[in-house]
Amino acid sequence: MATSTIVNYLEGGSGLGCSNRRQIETFKASEALSVGNFVSVDFSKAVVDNIPLYVLKASTGANRKCCVGVTLDAVTLAEAAAGKTVRVVVSGPVEGICLGHAADDPLAISATAGSADTSAAAAPVVAFSVDGTTGLGTVFMLKQAF
């Protein structure tokens, strides 16, 4: 499911696809997900080989701490049970994330499943807020080792 991260050129412009600065990976959903959820690999899988294939909402709770990115697709519970895949931004900018942070604030997963908040000492930084807004904003996802 890995994609190439080669940058062949640098080109100015607008939009998130400019110069291929965003990396998207495909995972299977373990639960219902909304667009813009921070997700973790699912450590609750009984078969170890399945752990890196499935994602669920990231949080500071058990089996949800390994944040890998932000979802671009919504998945219902029935679709997740049927093995539907979800696209996840694992590195680079993501628009439409519910924020209430200043620009350049470090973000870490929070106790609320699927969301991130200003970085706490107990949780690693997974993204940075790009714009200071109280509504929907943009974050820059940092590539996590998984």
Structure confidence by residue, pLDDT tens digits, 56-100: 999 888 888 889 999 999 999 999 999 899 999 999 988 877 677
- How far apart are the C-alpha atoms of 50 and 73, rounded to whole Å? 21
Considering the four listed CATH numbers 2.40.30, 2.40.10, 2.40.300, 2.60.40, the one that applies to the domain covering 22-141 is 2.40.300
| pTM for the structure as a whole | 0.83
Positive/negative CA dihedral, 74, 79, 81, 86:
negative
- How far apart are the C-alpha atoms of 5 and 55, rounded to whole Å? 21
Q: Which residue has the tokens 């997974």?
A: 126
- How far apart are the C-alpha atoms of 131 and 134, rounded to whole Å? 10
Pairing of strands 54-57, 23-29: parallel
- Would you state the pLDDT for residue 117? 82
